[in-house]
Structure 1
């Protein structure tokens, strides 16, 4: 496995400079900043990632004000209590993407957000309490306890909200394969553990965030 500096050199050769590689990524938020994010913004981010999955992101983004209105600002208490009449209105509401299972996922994730908020004080506090070295476990928790939050959907939610972590995009996976960390798209627990170990090794040797490392790996290929 190459050092991160060696992989960065490959990226710089391809992209021109380190600044060009990292210019459009936001640094991870502090624990305090994550804890301060209201629960409705977490549910909104989850829902947006879910509706974007397999769909045109720009279309969803342009429609998002309509989503915010239709789902009552993604207030978890309101969404968790979604009744059949509200659901029926949503599946015919032209201001949103009318996808029944994804609409139902909003309700189910509202319950998930409420449960974690009740236990930890807020969903943001729950996120802030999770150590970076357990990022793979956090992804597994989102997949098992949330709805439709597995795979890259959960990873995108965490990235958008400022949690330090990696995105297993096609290019990142290609670099991990090239470095001998994995031999294919990681789906098993053992493969995900190997990915996490590699990222932590690069993190400890470089002092860079997992977010930066993820971008460096991606730009060394794509």
Structure 2
């Protein structure tokens, strides 16, 4: 069974909150909350890509720097970034200076613009991949799923980069497409209620 931890406020949370001091706030206010905002969905895709091979804490502590560097992840603006912008970003010590990941974020912004034309919104596209409740099973025991594999495959076919099945599973966890809070975590029933009342974008 997935472990939980008791915080200084007496609340039972997912055990990973203990691994960094700033995780409680992220856990309590963001992780697993269903999201239908295109800009936030794009931001998460990019940040998950930058996290590849690194820890989420590394990305979370630099998130405001990423937002400043990437125009608050307005994909219409990022799609217009040039080679000069890539070189500028490679000199930015506040972000992860990885050419492939920077170029992937710009590429994905262009693909996001295409997706808006094809699907109406990013949210409408991603929520089509909301898995059946029975697919995930015991919380936080999987790093990929059949749906994350299918989403990764479809995005790659559309030209997106740094969107492997594990990255897409983490994206689904964070954006509320699944409720992967641990059994016993105080937020699990709250997220269930949020997901029940959430209006799926179409």
TM superposition score normalised by structure 2: 0.62
Tell me the distance in 2 between the aligned counterparts of 1:54 and 1:27: 22
State whether structure 2 residue 153 is matched by structure 1 residue 154. Answer: no
141, 152, 177: which one aligns with 1:163: 177
SS in structure 2 of the partner of residue 163 of structure 1? coil
Matches within 5 A, 1:63-142: 63-130=62-129, 132=131, 135=147, 136-142=149-155
- Report the counterpart of residue 178 of structure 1 in structure 2: none
Contact 1:91 1:98 in 2 (8 A): yes
Tell me the distance in 2 between the aligned counterparts of 1:27 and 1:61: 15
CA RMSD, 1 decimal? 2.7
The structural deviation recorded for 1:66 is 0.5
Tell me the distance in 2 between the aligned counterparts of 1:108 and 1:77: 11
C-alpha change, 1:121 and 1:105, in structure 2 (3 Å) is same
- Higher-Rg member (1/2): 1
C-alpha change, 1:28 and 1:95, in structure 2 (3 Å) is closer
Q: Can you give the 5+ residue segments of structure 2 that lack an aligned partner in the other structure?
A: 5-11, 15-26, 133-145, 181-191, 193-202
Contact 1:132 1:165 in 2 (8 A): no
TM superposition score normalised by structure 1: 0.57
Contact 1:139 1:155 in 2 (8 A): no
The structural deviation recorded for 1:40 is 1.7
Tell me the distance in 1 between the aligned counterparts of 2:87 and 2:173: 32
The structural deviation recorded for 1:72 is 0.5
Contact 1:143 1:154 in 2 (8 A): no
Contact 1:142 1:154 in 2 (8 A): no
